[in-house]
Chain A
Amino acid sequence: MHINNGTDPHAIGTKLPAPEARYDMVVVGAGPAGLTAALAGAGEGKSVLLVDENPIPGAAMGNDVPLLFGGRMTTATQNAERMLETVFMSEPMLEAAMDAGVEVLLGTSAWGVYRNGAGITGLPENVVALADKDRGWIVGYNELVLATGARDLAIGFPGWNQPGVMGAAALERLLAHYEAFAGKRILIVGSHNLALETALLARDKGVDVAGLVEVRSAPQGDAALAEAVRAAQIPFYLEDAPAEAIGGIDGVERVRLRSGAEIAVDTVVLAIGLVPSIELIDAMGGKRVLDGARGGYIPGDNDGVTCVGDCAGLADTGFDHVDYRMEWARELGKLSKGDTIVCQCEEVTRADLLGVQPPRYLERPAPMQARSLDTLIKDGPPNPDQIKRLTRAGMGVCQGRRCRDQVAMMLAMAADGPFGSVPLATHRAPVRPLPLRILADWEESEEMRAGWDVWFGIPTQWVPYRDIDTPREREHQTAIAEGWSL
């Protein structure tokens, strides 16, 4: 029997590298909340690193990462230098932060937070993993401030899977920070504050706002905001919903409402809600809680990590965002057809999802066709991660941003339970899609290189059965073990 003399050279041990820099405070997200935190930290004499992923690389925007850009960005977004300048100029506090000694890295995303805890003790310390357009690296921190904002909530309907269907947060980004919105005339879905503010911003930026569609019988948001929208001659289509977005090669050209009205627009802006961006918290195994008044799942109490701004939860105005979303999901679900796409990356239709059917490149024999979400629910409550594995919904390059929320709502409805009765689909690092060559550790330590093995580094495991307990066993073990440290 092979004994490693009390050490296992192939175990993680101390192989994970130390961070290449350390800061008293690392802030992720350079919106107002992140900047305020960074300035406060610098004011206390702390070393502060502030990272922000803007300007988003064109390729990521094309995949609707991190927001639902819906293909409505101008070609200006492909010019990285110009975008960097535009983003910098759009936020005056950035200069103040730099003057205060904050190290500011734009075009830099945080794609993972790693901490020792349940199931992992091999980290030299708590680290944040970063990437820019050239490379990935990790930094250490004492305090981590997440100011990652909120992302768009997408709910599908017929025709939503074409250019020109985008989210309110993406529109705000393009209008207010990038000066790069390619649409001319928009229809807004929803009428709570997000939708009302979107309408006013768009109007101010010279975009023609064709109206707001509201499933309920009255505008939902702040009365003064609704009045301002009315005063701007922007119509509300109440107790109505988009039945279909109709378009051509360049995407949306018009929208047909349930009521039958047809509205010529080049862009539909989903402004039903925003989802606090808890990807990093969830991927690090942090605590989170469901709070409908604050936009859904929000961070719980996590030692050493502070969440500020929208990622900590939307402002509580007493409005139940989750109820509102579920109402929209129910209505848009009714307007959808079996072939309406739910997951755009993997082209999973509503019928495939509810049927728990495999992707189209696989056969569907009779027993497979007889299975459905209904039969699966007999075995236990639906779990989005299980549905994801079977249907591939949420498995694509947008990392489930376009479908995870609507899938969760569809599962809750199918199981006849509230939104919170279905577990949250897990987020995993990297929480941004990042190229292999960027993510790669090209400066891997010799210890990592020397200790690498394809599996557990147990030579006896690979000895052919017939050679066990024969003279050949030792020969194989030696040859196999020597071949490791590839």
Chain B
Amino acid sequence: MTYVGMPTPKETPQETMAKIAGSAKGMKVVIVGGGVSGLSAGWWLARSGAEVTVLDKGIVGWEASGRNGGGASHYQSPLFEEEQRMWPHMDALLGYPTEHQQERLVIAVSPKQLNQYHYLAKMNNDMGYRVDLLDGDQVRSMVPLAGDNCLGGMHYRFGGHANPQRSVQAYAWALQDLGGRIYQHSPVTGFETVGGKVTAVHATSGRHECDAVVVAAGPQIQALMAKLGVEVPLAAARAEMIVTEPAPMMPIGGVDGNGLYGRQTLRGNLAYGGGPHEWLETFEAGPPARPSSPLTRNLARRVAELFPKAAHLNVIRSWAGIVENTPDGRPIIDRMKDPENVTVITMSGVGFGLSPASGHAVRDLVVDGACSFTDIAKISLSRFDGIGADWREQRGWQAPKAA
């Protein structure tokens, strides 16, 4: 099972699994944060034979990992080809459904959008990823809910989408099936360090001894890593989505555009987000609330423009998620120099789709000290060495002062 529009992988995921089996036998790894990146890392490590413990402040996948659009088409990432290699096999490898579906369509309802999408199509084609350009009639034949306002679009012959909530739980359950332990409602309170290594992680569930630690706690990474004397520049913001009642199934559910991201779920619901975000203060205990705003109305308008033939469908929910960003919006996947057995991962708001690959990268850093399948030097933490304390202000990313 591979994609038309991607290079053919050199090895099957099953071959990779056979290769790593036993490579981390006996290694005790504590993962801080049961979001999609932490759980995928935990699953890869458990597949390697490590004894994995995941600590989460609440329920697995409760934050942005379980609240996003489910997209899996992030071609800009060094992890992308690995993600594409893995996704079609994840249901079988995990043993639980993820609702993964292949391919994407991005459609335009304004000339400016069409220009933008053409640029992105060329950028992909230059990388060797096949994108077909579509005119309005071609879109209408492929997207039954599109309308006369559609000017054209592009068809990614790769990429896809999955159900975030189901996938996160699938990683968690698969990890447990491999002997991993997950402590929910167990916030981390501190680290024990001996000779430049973390030897135990303290949480409300108790003291967890470890040979290695992975910190994958989203916006809370900053406060946790500060306890270890490492500064990780992150800023959190709120993003919003809406969902409609089910629409008739479209042949390709991964359709977005008009400034929106999202998908038609396998149940038929149209789930879309986009638009302005609100920068927030970050709290070590996690976000106190995840409110949505009247932006719901702007999202509804854009979905109605994207799918005029669905404009009569009821919106049944809106929600929000709190997402962390690094100063350049790119991930940090890096093993620290001190304490040297700590690996940090934040995907800077683009973590769900890339998760099958990000877990592999973390596994490689924890077990082998280097990523085996792609270059990740440009997403190391050190690129932010010496960043000014006012980096948020420079970007206009500061949280509003509390009233």
Contacts and interface: CB of A to CB of B under 8 A. Distances in A.
Interface in A106-126: 112, 114, 116-123
A92 interface: no
Closest 9 CB pairs of A and B: A461-B329, A483-B116, A458-B329, A433-B314, A8-B396, A367-B95, A440-B301, A441-B297, A389-B165
A256 B115 CA distance: 66
B333 to A, nearest CB: 12
A434 B314 contact: yes
Given A3-B395, A386-B59, A430-B315, A361 B267 contact: yes
B2 interface: no
Interface string A145-184: 0000000000000000000000000000000000000000
A428 B319 contact: yes
Contacts of B375: 465
A375 to B, nearest CB: 9
A436 B278 contact: no
A368 B95 contact: yes
B296 interface: yes
Contacts of B113: 483, 486
B276 A10 contact: yes
B301 A444 contact: yes
B267 A116 contact: no
Nearest to B304: A436
A454 interface: yes
B289 A117 contact: yes
Given A435-B315, A436-B311, A120 B328 contact: no
A129 B298 CA distance: 13
26 contacts: A6-B393, A12-B278, A12-B295, A16-B294, A17-B294, A119-B288, A121-B400, A122-B278, A285-B289, A285-B291, A358-B166, A365-B97, A367-B95, A367-B174, A368-B97, A379-B182, A436-B301, A436-B314, A453-B259, A453-B274, A456-B277, A458-B329, A463-B76, A464-B76, A465-B77, A486-B113
B208 to A, nearest CB: 16
B289 A118 contact: yes
Contact of A346 (B112, B239, B267, B311): B267
Interface in A1-35: 1-8, 10-13, 15-17
A448 interface: yes
- Which of A10, A122, A448: most chain B CB closer than 10 A? A122
Given A119-B322, A120-B238, A437-B312, A15 B276 contact: yes
A7 to B, nearest CB: 4
B166 A361 contact: no
Interface stretch (A266-274, A310-318, A390-398): A390-398
B266 interface: yes
Given A389-B165, A437-B311, A119 B320 contact: yes
B296 A430 contact: yes
Contacts of A386: 59
A11 B291 contact: no
A39 to B, nearest CB: 30
B261 interface: yes
A456 B329 contact: yes
A120 B274 CA distance: 17
Contact of A454 (B260, B394, B403): B260
A363 interface: yes
Interface residues of B, number: 95
Contact of A483 (B112, B278, B280): B112
Interface range, A side: 35 or more
Contacts of A2: 328
A325 B283 CA distance: 39
A461 B330 contact: yes
A55 interface: no
Interface string A397-434: 10100000000000000000000000000001110011
- Which of B115, B182, B301: most chain A CB closer than 10 A? B301
Contacts of B226: none
A455 B315 contact: no
- Which of B95, B119, B396: most chain A CB closer than 10 A? B396
A362 interface: yes
- Which of B76, B288, B313, B323: most chain A CB closer than 10 A? B76
B173 A435 contact: no
Given A11-B279, A428-B292, A476 B123 contact: yes
B339 interface: no
A434 B95 CA distance: 37
B310 interface: yes
A36 interface: no
B300 A441 contact: yes
Contacts of B300: 136, 436-437, 439-441
A466 interface: yes
A44 interface: no
A355 to B, nearest CB: 13
Contact of B276 (A11, A358, A380, A429): A11
Contacts of A453: 259, 274-276
